[in-house]
Amino acid sequence: MKIGIIGAGIVGQTLGAALAGKGHDLRLGVRVVNEAELDKPRNQAETLRAWTARTGVEVAPFAAAAAHGEVIINATGGGVAIEALTLAGAENLAGKVLLDISNPLDFSTGTLTALPDLTNTTSVGEEVQKAFPQARVVKSLNTTWIGVGVNPAMVPGEIDVFVAGNDEAAKETVTTILKRDFGWASVIDLGDIGAARGTEQFLTLWFRLYQRIGNGAFGIKVVR
Which residues here bind its own copies, judged by CB under 8 A?
113-114, 116, 119-121, 155-159, 162, 164, 188-191, 195, 197-199, 201-202, 204-209, 211-213, 217-224
Give the Cα separation of 99 and 138 in Å (integer): 5
Q: How far is the CB of 207 from its own copies (least distance, A)?
A: 7
Q: How far is the CB of 208 from its own copies (least distance, A)?
A: 5
Considering beta carbons, is residue 183 or 191 the nearer one to its own copies? 191
**Are 151 and 218 a contacting pair, CB within 8 Å?**
no
Residue 112, strand partner residues: none
Q: How far is the CB of 87 from its own copies (least distance, A)?
A: 28
Considering beta carbons, is residue 10 or 217 the nearer one to its own copies? 217
Give the Cα separation of 49 and 38 in Å (integer): 5
Please compute, for residue 55, the number of CA atoms within 13 A of its CA located in the half-sphere on the CB side.
Answer: 27
Q: How far is the CB of 141 from its own copies (least distance, A)?
A: 15
Considering beta carbons, is residue 93 or 128 the nearer one to its own copies? 128
Considering beta carbons, is residue 21 or 191 the nearer one to its own copies? 191
Sheet architecture: strand order including 2-6:
58-61, 25-30, 2-6, 71-74, 97-100, 136-140, 160-165, 186-189
Considering beta carbons, is residue 69 or 219 the nearer one to its own copies? 219
Q: How far is the CB of 34 from its own copies (least distance, A)?
A: 38
Give the Cα separation of 199 and 188 in Å (integer): 11
Q: How far is the CB of 198 from its own copies (least distance, A)?
A: 3
User: Which conformational region is residue 95 in: left (phi greater than 0), alpha (psi within -120 to 50 degrees), or beta?
Assistant: left
Considering beta carbons, is residue 34 or 109 the nearer one to its own copies? 109
Task: Provide DSSP, 15-81.
Answer: HHHHHHHTT-EEEEEES--SHHHHHS-BTTB--HHHHHHHH-PEEEEHHHHHHH-SEEEE-S-GGGH
